[in-house]
Structure 1
Amino acid sequence: MWTTPRPVLSYVLAVDLLAVAATAATAGLLPITGADWTRLAILIGCSIVHVELSRSIERVRKLAAGSGPFVDGLTPWHFAAVLVLPAPLASALVVFTQTYVWLRVWRGRRPLYKWVFSAATVLLATQASAIVLAAAPGAHPGIPLGWLGIALVLVAAVLRWLINYALILGAILVSSPDLRAAQIVSEFSEQVIEAGALGLGLAAAGLLEFDPRLLVGIILGLVAMHRGVLLTQFRHASRTDGKTGLYTPTWWHQIAESALRRAVATRTSVAVLMLDLDHFKRLNDTFGHLAGDEVLRAVADAITETVRSYDAACRWGGEEFAILLPEVNVTELRAIAERIRNQVKALVLDVAATDQTAPPQVTGLTISIGGALYPSPGITGLDDLQLAADTALYGAKEAGRDRVHLASSPEVAAAHEEDEVSRQDRRHP
């Protein structure tokens, strides 16, 4: 811990101390009764069973998770506790469950101080929720009454999530200054799980007051949810290129086949763009392969920002990309391709070059783009469509690079005609 950079250590210790102070400040908000101790014992028992049934899944899920804040699955029990228990007992449940999970799941795999920090963020979020719920109509602890009570539960849930997420996001940014906030927030799908977990926490609180035996259903639902999330993570990993975040060629090909079948059935159009970064080998030789990877990511980001939300882009291989564009005409296809070309040309990237004589920035990137559209003469399947786009890309390269050629455009037709003349000349010297 003491070898941790000072800014990170200061941030972590400040949050830890603030959590202790906030927990002490809310300790006297409500008296504790015998029924509260019984509810605490039930929630502890449920959380233990839940952790034991899902701990192997959690380890794998953490490995498959991205760079953003990780949702550990304890939220339903923590939120149920803040709804039906006085703040000190809700805090006690947080401390117990976080300690239990560290001992059973993460001991020897994760530094203790990081786990303490995670517990501190949850404690702070718990105290904030407890303060909001204390203002709810009806007897608290317990499910608040009326629509105002439900609204306050929603406010408490959002506040709990926001505090926890912001504090962990801050820690990630302080410990990794080179990591962009956009990269972390891009892993936001984990937070959808957190929203579902908060909803399950509300359900668990209601069942605890109505019939605690029904909490078995919450446990089974949570274990099933964790397995489903893990499957989704693996599916996403198998379909996504690790360097660029775009689709893999295999998954893109499946999407493209389906889109073309739909276009044939509905008599609509579908297009493919093939893109190739110009002089990428020269860039790798000058700046190194790590810089080359940064360029690929930046180009992928430029493509994603430029195409429509329902278009599908993949890294086809090396420095080549492919984009599927449903329901476009030739004019729209050219406009999209030109926007991508201009976006790439405008990129300015700070890199650490392996060649010390190289400039510290990569500028002047260019990309050649070829496109083809279905329906067009001679195109009956995806292979034909890709071949036509690839031929157009070859024509763009031959014409001087940094340009867009479409299979239906005059320049591509002229290129085909020249190729045909050359072949005829070779056959009949």
Structure 2
Amino acid sequence: MDDPSPAPGIRSLWALGPGLVVVALSVELVAVVVVAAGVLALPPGGGPVLLALGLAAMGVVHTELATGIERIRRRGSANSYFDLSSVWTFAAALLLPPGLAAAVVVVVYAHLWHRVWAPAGIPLYRHLYTTATVLLAARAAHDVVSWAGGLPADPARPDVVVAVGLAVSSYVVVNTVLIGAAIALTGPRVAPRDLLGRWDDNALEVATLCMGALAAVALASTPGLVVLVLPPILVLHRAVLVRQLEQDASTDAKTGLLNVTAWRAEALRAVRRAHRAGCGAGVLILDLDHFKVVNDTHGHLAGDDVLSAVAAELRAGVREHDLVGRFGGEEFVVLLPDLPRGGAGHVELWRVAERLRHRVARLDVGVATAGGVQTVTGLSVSVGGATVPTDGTTLDQVLRAADDSLYAAKGAGRNLVRIATDGHVPAPRRPTA
């Protein structure tokens, strides 16, 4: 699993803050020490070098066969990214001495960098950190299997079977903890899904490691059978790509939020759930004030960076299960399920809208321009809101009521919140310049 994409323009580890720098360099230093200790402990003659070369070669062939798919996945991954090369790194951890297993990891990931990560524009510091976490995870898996006498061994022995299962767990835990520690330092509020990865991503990782264990057993008994691992792993690549393409089709490319089609589909389901549960739901429409000035002053690429930064603030300012989407241009929309009905729902919706408005007003966005990096400040949003079922029983009715409220906020001077049937909430004062 890899850490989230950095903010626009950040290509250096040093720009991410001292905490993340300390963690990254510490993990990489520990990995170097562990690898050096493994190399020094190699048996006379170097150990099973031919087996290590074979695993490294299989990893390279695997990457070459899946290069096109992996580049698409790598470019499209907004948060976490699980590569399937752990088939070979995990097999190396089970079969080889630590020094040779580390060599296999380095060869496989160096080739991945050359063929997948670098062409996809991924910063080198991210690849180095990921490689370090894989080295430590592989060492943890090796130590667990060594406890049972190592492989090759009689696979029918219960302790060997248990040890391989524990090795899978240790590999996942070490990798997840180290990546999660880095992700936790990338922002003040990080969702658990980003820290731990999604359920299906973790299931993919476990499935890949299980295939690596089967590859190790095949190499230990009948080495020629290891080639049978390639067809299913390549099919798995394509299955994962289809899932990612489906996700990309529902995501706005500039902001990473739901696009209008996907947001409407999810919002319709949320409104139906609210009716069945007898609770309310709220809709906010937010329009970035005077956004044309940003484009005219700094350029459209800088405008895209501003949209991305505003989207991140909106996503961070609501609950995990709230729906945030981009309606097009500089307009965003939020659906908040599970609100109380009536006036209490209006008050809660107004509080959320005010919180989002203040978050955007405090936002400073660094953008790259022809004259160098500049900071865009003074951003603001006008917000209109409405609730189900007070202001409408269908999604379209509530959207129209929220849109009318948005135009009321813009007509009153912008950088304001207006909620349908405003008598239910205290009228916010217009902020001074």
2:408 maps to amino acid: G
Residue in 1 that maps onto 2:256: 245
Cα deviation, residue 380, structure 1: 4.2
Matched, 1:340 2:356: yes
Matched, 1:300 2:308: no
Q: Distance in 2 between matches of 1:314 and 1:268?
A: 22
**SS at the partner of 2:262?**
helix
Question: In 2 relative to 1, CA 126–374 (structure 1 residues): closer, same or farther, beyond 3 Å?
Answer: closer
- Alpha carbons 1:312, 1:325 under 8 Å: kept: yes
Shift of 1:402: 1.8
Which secondary structure state, in structure 2, belongs to the residue aligned with residue 402 of structure 1?
Answer: coil
1:200 pairs with 211, 215, 235, which one? 211
3-state SS in 2 of match to 1:240: coil
> Which residue of structure 2 lines up, in the alignment, with residue 397 of structure 1?
410
Shift of 1:54: 3.9
Match of 1:420 in 2: none
Q: TM-score, normalised by structure 1?
A: 0.68
Output aligned runs, 1:346-357, within 5 Å: 346-351=362-367
Q: Which digits, 9 at most, give the CA deviation of each residue in 1:209-234, with x for residues without a partner?
A: 57778867754542232112211222
Query: Structure 2 matches for 1:364-403, cutoff 5 A?
Result: 364-376=378-390, 379-403=392-416
Q: Secondary structure at the match of 2:147?
A: coil
Compared CA separation, residues 347 and 54, structure 1 to 2 (3 A): closer
Q: Cα deviations across residues 251-301 of structure 1 (Å, max 9, x unaligned)?
A: 111112222233344443222111112222233334443433332222211
Structure 1 distance, partners of 2:282, 2:43, is: 66
Which residue of 1 is the match for residue 7 of structure 2? none
User: How many matched pairs?
Assistant: 388
Q: What does the per-residue CA deviation read over 1:101-160, in whole Å, with 9 as the maximum and x for residues that have no partner?
A: 899x6799699xx8x979975994487347634751434555793798468625751587
Equivalents in 2 of 1:151, 1:107: separation in Å? 30
Distance 1:354 1:102 in 2: 30
54-63 or 232-241, which deviates more: 54-63
Shift of 1:348: 2.9
Letter in 2 for 1:386: L
Aligned to 2:20: none
Aligned positions of 1:191-270 closer than 5 A: 192=202, 193-206=204-217, 218-270=229-281
Q: Answer yes or no: is the 8 Å Cα contact 1:283–1:292 preserved in 2.
A: yes
Q: Supply the AA of the counterpart residue of 2:241.
A: L
Report the CA distance between 1:15 and its aligned residue.
11
**Which of 78, 103, 106 is matched with 2:89 structurally?**
78
Aligned mates of 1:165, 1:293 — CA distance in 2: 28
TM-score (norm 2): 0.68
Of 157, 172, 175, 2:171 maps to 157
**Unaligned 5+ runs, structure 1:** 171-178, 415-429
Q: Does 1:313 align with 2:324?
A: yes
The aligned amino acid for 1:401 is R
C-alpha displacement of 1:73: 2.3
Residue 424 of structure 1 is matched in structure 2 by: none
CA distance in 2, matches of 1:126, 1:300: 35
Aligned-partner Cα distance in 2 for 1:352–1:51:
34
1:409 aligns with 422
- Mapped partners of 2:99, 2:128: distance in 1: 19
Query: Which whole-Å deviations, capped at 9, do the CAs of 1:79-116 have from their partners, x for residues lacking one?
Result: 1222133446646755776798899x6799699xx8x9
Question: What is the one-letter code of the residue matched to 1:243?
Answer: K
The CA deviation at 1:382 is: 2.2
Amino acid at match of 1:157: Y
Q: Is the 8 A contact 2:141 2:167 kept in 1?
A: no
- The percent of aligned pairs where both chains have the same amino acid is 35
Distance (whole Å) between structure 1 residues aligned to residue 120 and residue 328 of structure 2: 36
